[in-house]
Amino acid sequence: MNDMRHVERTVRVDTTKITARDVQVFYGDTHAIRNVSVDIPDKTVTAFIGPSGCGKSTFLRCLNRMNDTISVARVEGRIEIDGEDIYDRRVDPVQLRAKVGMVFQKPNPFPKSIYDNVAYGPRIHGLARDRADLDGIVEKALRRAALWAEVKDRLSAAGTGLSGGQQQRLCIARAVATSPEVLLMDEPCSALDPIATDQVENLIHELRENYSVVIVTHSMSQASRVSQKTAYFHLGELVEYGETGQIFTNPQDERTENYITGRIG
C-alpha cells in the first residue's frame, strides 16, 4: 500500500448524496453534536476523523437514524438524502435503513449460518422472488464483499465460526445484500488485525464503485488510504471538511493540524 496514493487520486465528484444542515444531537443534557453542516457526494468514500469522543460516530448514526434506538438521544437540524428529509414524519426508519446500510465497529454476525446472515436483509425486505433468486443475491453479496471464494463450500456453517476479518466482511456482505445506496461504516477495522484490515480496506475501495461510503476511523493513515473526502470532528463540531489530500497535506484549521501531526488524539 502506498500511503501517498491519495495525492495523485482524482476525485470524481458526482452529485451530492447526503446533505446535512445545522445538525444538533443531544444525549439527555449533553450537547454531543453542534451545528454540523456537510455535503457528502455519491460514489465516494468520505472519512470522518477526530479524537475519540468527538462525535464522529454519533453523527454517522444520525445518517440512518440509528440514534432513534437510544431513548435519550434527540436530533435537530436537517439531513437530506437525495433531497428528501430523512427526519420527515412520513419517513419510516425501517425503509431508510434499507437504503442506508451500516457496518459496525465489532463484527456482529448473527448466531446463524453464513447464508442466513447474508439472506437476512433480503428476507425481511422481501427482495427475492424465490429461493434461486435469494441464492443469487447471497452469492452476489458475498462476491462483492470478497468473501465468496472462502466460504462458498460452507454456506451453512455458523457465521460466528469465521475469523475476525472474515466476520467483518460477512457483515459487509450482509449490509450490501439489501442493495443500499449509502454504506455507513463505524470504525470497521478497529477490531481486526493488519492483514484483515488490508482486505477490508481493499474492499471499501471497490465498494465505492456502487455506493456512497461514509467511514468513521480513528486511524489517519486509514483515512488517507481509503477516502477521497475527509471531515475532521473536534468536540462535537465539524472543524474542517475537504479533499482528503488537502486535509492531510495542507490543513486550514490549527486544530486539524494539531491532530494530524499527532499533538492531540
Partner 1 sequence: MQVSFILLSLAAIGALAFVTARHRAIASVGGDARRLHSLPIYYGLNGSIMALVPALALLVAWMLVQPLFLDGAIRSDLSDSVLPEGSAMGLVVSDVRRVAEGLESGPLAQSFIAGDFADATPEEVGRMLVRGGTALGAPLTRPVLDAAMEYRTTSRTLRWIMGIAVLAVAVIGAAVAIHRSEGSYRARNVVETGMLGLLMVSASIAILTTLGIVMSMLFETANFFSQYPFTRFFFNTTWQPSFSGRGGASELGILPLLWGTLYISLIALIVAVPIGLFSAIYLSEYAGRAFRSVAKPTIEILAGIPTIVYGLFALITVGPLLRDAIASPLGLGNSASSVMTAGLVMGIMLIPFVSSLSDDIINAVPQAMRDGSLGLGATKSETIRMVIVPAALPGIVGAVLLAASRAIGETMIVVLGAGAAARLDLNPFEAMTTVTVKIVSQLTGDTDFNSPETLVAFALGLTLFVITLGLNVLALFIVRKYREQYE
Partner 2 sequence: MTDATAPGAVPSGAGQGSLLARDTRTAKRNAAEGRFKIYGLVAVCIGIAALIVLLTSILTSGLSAFRQTTIDMQVTLDEERLDPSGARDYDEMARVTTFGYAPLLRDGLQATIAAAGIEADLDPGDAMDLISDESIAQLRNRVLDNPDLVGQTIDLTVLASGRIDGFYKGRVSYASAELDSNVSPEQLRLAEALEERGALRTGLDWRFLTAPDASDTRPEAAGLGVAILGSAYMMLIVLVLALPIGVAASIYLEEFAPQNRWTDLIEVNISNLAAVPSIVFGILGLAIFINFAGLPQSAPIVGGLVLTLMTLPTIIIATRAALKAVPPSIRDAALGLGASKMQSVFHHVLPLAMPGILTGTIIGLAQALGETAPLLLIGMVAFVREYPDTPLDGGFFDPATALPVQVFNWTQRSDPAFVERASGAIIVLLAFLLLMNLTAVFLRRRFERRW
Which spans of this chain sit near partner 1 (rule: CB under 8 A)?
Answer: 64, 66, 69, 71, 94-99, 101-104, 106, 108-112, 120-121, 124-125, 171, 174-175, 178
Non-local (6+) Cβ contacts of 94 within 8 A are none
19 counts as binding partner 2 under rule CB under 8 A: no
Q: At what angle do helices 194-207 and 164-176 cross, to 10 degrees?
A: 20
Helix (H, G, I), strand (E, B) or coil at 259: helix
| Residue 188 in the binding site for partner 2 (CB under 8 A) | no
CB count, 10 Å around CB of 153?
8
Measured from the CB atom, the residue of 60 and 100 that comes closer to partner 2 is: 100
- How far is the C-alpha of 128 from the C-alpha of 133, rounded, in Å? 5
Residue 167 near residue 103 (C-beta atoms within 8 A) = no
Residue with Cβ nearer partner 2 (197 or 256)? 197
The conformation of residue 251, written as its DSSP 8-state character, comes to -
d(CA 62, CA 20): 10
Residue number, 110 or 148, with CB nearest to partner 1: 110
Q: Could you say whether residue 39 binds partner 2 (CB under 8 A)?
A: no
Partner from partner 2, partner 1, none binding residue 64, C-beta < 5-8 Å depending on class: partner 1
Does 88 contact partner 2 by CB under 8 A? yes
> Is residue 124 within the footprint of partner 2 (CB under 8 A)?
yes
Residue 137 binds: one of partner 1, partner 2, none (C-beta under 5 to 8 A by kind): partner 2
- 207 contact partners, CB below 8 Å, separation of at least 6: 45, 144, 172, 176, 183, 213
Provide the mask over 128-167, with x wherever binding to partner 2 is found by CB under 8 A and - wherever it is not. Answer: ---------x--x--xx-x-xx------------------
221-248 burial, b for 16+ CB within 10 Å, e for fewer? ebbbbbbbbbbbbbebbbbbbbbbbebb
C-alpha cell at 264: 492531540
Q: Are 203 and 172 in contact (CB under 8 A)?
A: yes
Contact between 255 and 13 (Cβ < 8 Å):
no
x/- string (CB under 8 A) for partner 2, residues 203-242? Answer: x--x--xx--------------------------------
Closest distance between partner 2 and the C-beta of residue 87, in Å?
A: 10
Measured from the CB atom, is 26 or 87 closer to partner 2?
A: 87
d(CA 32, CA 76): 11
- Tell me which of partner 2, partner 1, none is bound by residue 143, counting a contact when its beta carbon lies within the kind-specific cut-off of 5 to 8 angstroms: partner 2
Residue 178 beta carbon to partner 1: minimum distance, rounded to whole angstroms = 6
Size of the site for partner 2 (CB under 8 A): 34
Residues at the site binding partner 2, with contacts judged by CB under 8 A: 81, 84, 86, 88, 90-92, 94-96, 98-100, 121, 124-127, 137, 140, 143-144, 146, 148-149, 178-181, 202-203, 206, 209-210
